[in-house]
């Protein structure tokens, strides 16, 4: 499975947002959202989430505690309602600086949720020459 494309939806006053139908179909009945070390949220299928957690659990305890607390402690299990909406937790909203508009970006095995302003700023700052060199270095 590979998530591709991007879709923008608004979060309502009850912190609900529609998950794009194309993504919802591939995510299944339940999925997980968490924060990482950048200003977006990561969305995983239940299967990919289990694999990710397994990798986190393999870290030596001296390294694992902070990382697991940060990532797993903010994680949210999501089951969309009949309309395809989920409710986002305040911890995730604050981390991603989400105000109203959310951009769902397909990123291969995960989906990234960005505050629209953050996503626009990131796209404006893209250095295409640097990106091209990185892709060449990886044979892409």
> pLDDT at residue 103 above 80?
yes
How far is 47 from 30, CA to CA, in rounded Å?
A: 10
Nearest partner of 86 among 42, 4, 24, judged by Cα: 24
Say which CATH class 6-137 falls into.
Answer: alpha beta
Q: Using one digit for the tens of pLDDT, what is the confidence trace for 3-44?
A: 999 999 999 999 999 999 999 999 999 999 999 999 999 999
pTM of the predicted model, to two decimals? 0.90
| pLDDT average, residue stretch 99-124 | 95
> pLDDT at residue 61 above 90?
no
Q: What counts of helices (H) and strands (E) characterise the chain? A: 6, 8
> pLDDT at residue 1 above 80?
no
List the domain boundaries for the chain.
Answer: 6-137
Q: Using one digit for the tens of pLDDT, what is the confidence trace for 42-58?
A: 999 999 999 999 999 99
> pLDDT at residue 92 above 90?
yes
Nearest partner of 4 among 89, 99, 110, 136, judged by Cα: 110
pLDDT-above-90 percentage for the chain: 88
């Amino acid at each position: 499975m590979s998530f591709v494309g991007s879709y923008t939806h608004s979060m309502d006053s009850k912190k609900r947002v529609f998950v794009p139908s194309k993504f919802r179909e591939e995510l299944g009945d339940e999925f997980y959202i968490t924060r990482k070390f950048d200003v977006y949220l990561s969305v995983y299928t239940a299967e990919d989430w289990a694999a990710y957690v397994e990798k986190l659990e393999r870290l030596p305890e001296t390294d694992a505690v902070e990382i697991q607390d940060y990532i797993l402690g903010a994680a949210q299990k999501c089951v969309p309602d009949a309309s395809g909406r989920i409710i986002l937790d305040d911890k995730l909203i604050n981390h991603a600086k989400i105000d109203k508009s959310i951009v769902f970006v397909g990123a291969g095995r995960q989906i990234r949720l960005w505050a629209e302003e953050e996503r626009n700023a990131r796209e404006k700052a893209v250095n295409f020459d640097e990106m091209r060199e990185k892709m060449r270095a990886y044979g892409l």
